[in-house]
Amino acid sequence: MNLSDPDGLAALIRRRRMVRRFTADPVPAAEVAALVDLGRYTPSAGFTQGTSFLLLSDAQVDAFWTVSAEPGASNPWLDGMRTAPWLILVWTSEQAYRQRYAEPDKSAPGRGWDGEEQPWSAPYWWVDAGMAVQNVVLAATASGLGACFFGIPPQRQDAVRERFGVPAQQLSVGVIALGRPGDDGPSGSGRRRERRAYADQVRLGQWENR
């Protein structure tokens, strides 16, 4: 891969920005399905593939906002996000990882999950979901769409599960709002904060000189 190719992956990664307002143009279901399919081609611990997606459009999008936002609420962020023709609800399952790591190839001493505490440096069901989300968001950007990832407030998650028939073991990772990019002006932390300097964020060999 040529990292300087203006149409290549490096340029795509650098130009991706969260989009918080969308045009009224529809996005065909097949296009959304193709993007979400790429979200399935990500690494996952033990190849558990514990991330799941629930795709909402039209009246389902309205229903989502009804159960996840205060009645009558309006603010620039919410008004912008409500213009998204598609919402991709992303879910993960701790239980799926517990089951996977009880399988014979993963349950050898020191490798499996035999205690109460999950045995990894970080809960892998969340790690894997983040990888999946980024694939979808990058694929959306590559195909000229816009996307924004946001979380469902914890106190609203049961109502969302209830409305859309999501099993209780599914944990809400968040939502990818998707559509054709509208004019959202300067919005979001990414426009207010500087990117950290490379030398601050990346250390070579040792964190600090002693």
Ligand X SMILES: Cc1cc2nc3c(=O)[nH]c(=O)nc-3n(C[C@H](O)[C@H](O)[C@H](O)COP(=O)(O)O)c2cc1C
Which residue type sits at 144? G
User: Quick one: three-class SS letters along the chain?
Assistant: CCCCCCCCHHHHHHHCCCCCCECCCCCCHHHHHHHHHHCCCCCCHHHCCCCEEEEEECHHHHHHHHHHCCCCCCCHHHHHHCCCCEEEEEEECHHHHHHHCCCHHHCCCCCCCCCCCCCCCCCHHHHHHHHHHHHHHHHHHHCCCEEEEECCCHHHHHHHHHHHCCCCCCEEEEEEEEECECCCCCCCHHHHCCCCCHHHHCCCCCCCCC
Complex with ligand X: residue 85 or 146, whichever CB lies closer: 146
Stretch that binds ligand X, among 50-58, 104-112, 143-151, 201-209 (CB under 6 A): 143-151
Name the minimum Å distance from CB 197 to ligand X: 16
Cβ closest to ligand X, residue 84 vs residue 112: 84
Smallest distance, ligand X to C-beta of residue 57, A:
20
Interface positions, 41-100, toward ligand X (CB under 6 A): 77
State the number of binding residues for ligand X (CB under 6 A): 11
**Considering beta carbons, is residue 121 or 189 the nearer one to ligand X?**
189
The torsion angles phi and psi of 142, rounded to 5 degrees, stand at -60, -30
Based on CB atoms, which residue is closest to ligand X, 149 or 164?
149
Cβ proximity to ligand X: between 96 and 175 the closer is 175
**Which residues between 187 and 206 bind ligand X (CB under 6 A)?**
188-190
CB of 28 to ligand X, least distance (A): 25
Question: What backbone phi and psi angles, to 5 degrees, belong to 92?
Answer: -135, 170
Identify residues 145-174 at the interface with ligand X (CB under 6 A). Answer: 148-151
Burial degree of 201 (CB within 10 A; 0-12, 13-18, 19+): exposed
- Minimum distance of ligand X from residue 4's CB (angstroms): 21
Compute the least distance from the CB of residue 30 to ligand X, in Å: 26
Write down the least CB distance from residue 24 to ligand X, Å. Answer: 20
Contacts to ligand X from residues 10-29, by CB under 6 A: 17-18, 20
The whole-angstrom distance between residue 111's C-alpha and the CA centroid of its chain comes to 28
Nearer to ligand X, 27 or 148 (CB): 148
Q: Which residues of this protein are in contact with ligand X, per CB under 6 A?
A: 17-18, 20, 77, 148-151, 188-190
